[in-house]
Amino acid sequence: MEINSRLSRYDLTQTYRWNYDNAPEPAEIDVPAMRGEWTFCGRAVPSPLGIPAGPLLNGRWVLYYASLGFDVLTYKTVRSGHRECYELPNLVPVETGQLTGTEERLTESRTMNGSWAVSFGMPSADPEVWRRDIEETRNKLAAEKLLSVSVVGTVQPGWSIDDLAADYAQCARWAVDAGADTIETNFSCPNVETCDGQLYQNPTEAAIVAEAVRQAIDDRPLILKIGHMTESSNAEELLEAVGAFATAIAMTNSVATTVRGQSGDLLFAGQQRGICGEATFDASLRQTSLFSKLVRERDDDLRIISVGGVSAAEHVQSCMKAGAESVHIATAAMIDPNVALKIRRSWQA
């Protein structure tokens, strides 16, 4: 199997817009099958490997990573209106070991050692643009691969939680009409200050949004993407509140903390940012185990999707053992677009 070290990747030194406009063409690579029977939200897929919301800025990025051995492709979170990206830097490598969530501050690293602070602010193209793009992308994507679309509501001054829920639902309906196979609601974004960024910590409000989206998308699978949780009681409360509406829960979005730059100043105006990549693997695996255990005890059919720090076949195996149905990779896939091909190769071995 071909491993091409010159495959294109996201350019951290360039703006989000530049990367949006300069998506690579699909690679012509022979992708080895991944032995086993795999599902995503109960639907048959060729492998458990997916890309979560983030690296796939538009349909061209979806088709690129689909050509590199990923079978569940999540379209980066979209909104009901255009939203600009935060200024550069959007991705800042950090020095850290495995994170527990108790860290107050990390330091910027001169080199990428597997983990970085992520600061995009959930930009979105205009709905007309992303709706057309999703439709075209679904038409071009191989039939056996799934296109999941991540959506978020955009809080406006004076809005109630019902208004926010309706905005999430509107985006979800548009995505389904454009051909999305599954819908993901982003309930966790440490990089925005509004309540949509912390919905997973508020079971009552999370349930209002999940119910509105469920009604808007009929029987289409619904994934709730959540942030870092360690307390069993909080996880139980969340599952109790949203379990009736969701098909799956995806975790862990990131582990949030502040970052000190090389110059000694705090980056991002001293606000927290989500740390993604290698340093979140242990936390994500623990959370997968916790939620899987609770789901088993509840005896319902909720699926768990593991996200956070995965970069090797052993990680995939650990996540599946911990109860994940599917395993998604963002950071490692951006750093090394060959990662799914490498995982497949060692899986065969």
Ligand X SMILES: Cc1cc2nc3c(=O)[nH]c(=O)nc-3n(C[C@H](O)[C@H](O)[C@H](O)COP(=O)(O)O)c2cc1C
Cβ–Cβ < 8 Å for 287, 252: yes
Rounded-to-integer distance, Cα 182 and Cα 207, Å: 18
Q: How far is CA 151 from CA 43, 185, 263, 302, in A?
A: 21, 5, 36, 20
Under rule CB under 6 A, residue 175 binds ligand X: no
Restricting to residues 209-248, name those near ligand X by CB under 6 A.
Answer: 225
Give, as ranges, the residues between 26 and 55 that touch ligand X (CB under 6 A).
52-55
**Cβ of residue 188: shortest distance to ligand X, in angstroms?**
7
When the beta carbons of 276 and 343 are compared against ligand X, the nearer one is 276
Cβ proximity to ligand X: between 77 and 80 the closer is 77
Stretch that binds ligand X, among 11-19, 21-29, 116-124, 135-143 (CB under 6 A): 116-124
Token pair in block for residue 73: 């492709």
Determine which residue in the list 117, 324, 329, 335 makes contact with ligand X, applying CB under 6 A: 329
Quick check: 4 and 67 in contact, CB under 8 A?
A: no
The nearest distance, CB 28 to ligand X, in angstroms, is: 26
CB of 251 to ligand X, least distance (A): 8
| CB of residue 302 to ligand X, shortest distance in Å | 18
Q: Which of 58, 67, 96, 186 binds ligand X (CB under 6 A)?
A: 186
Task: Report the nearest approach of ligand X to the CB of residue 307 (Å).
Answer: 4
Q: Which of residues 147-166 bind ligand X (CB under 6 A)?
A: 150
Subset of 251-280 contacting ligand X (CB under 6 A): 253-254, 276-277, 280
Six-digit token pair at 45? Answer: 């897929």
Nearest CA to 2 out of 68, 56, 53 is that of 68
Based on CB atoms, which residue is closest to ligand X, 122 or 169?
A: 122
Give residues 286-325 in contact with ligand X (rule: CB under 6 A): 307-310
Smallest distance, Å, CB 293 to ligand X? 21
Q: How far apart are CA 1 and CA 342, in angstroms?
A: 9
Asked if 44 and 38 count as a contact pair (C-beta separation under 8 A), the reply is yes
Q: At what angle do helices 161-178 and 203-216 cross, to 10 degrees?
A: 40
- Does 76 participate in binding ligand X (rule CB under 6 A)? yes
Residue 124 binding ligand X, by CB under 6 A? no
* Smallest separation (angstroms) from ligand X to the CB of 6: 21
Query: Would you say 22 and 31 are in contact if contact means Cβ atoms under 8 Å apart?
Result: no
Which one, 211 or 336, has the nearer CB to ligand X?
A: 336
| Residue with the CB atom nearest ligand X in the bound state | 54
Residue with smaller CB distance to ligand X, 114 or 323: 114
- Report the nearest approach of ligand X to the CB of residue 308 (Å): 5
Which residues lie near ligand X (CB under 6 A)? Answer: 52-55, 76-77, 118, 120, 122, 150, 186, 225, 253-254, 276-277, 280, 307-310, 329-332
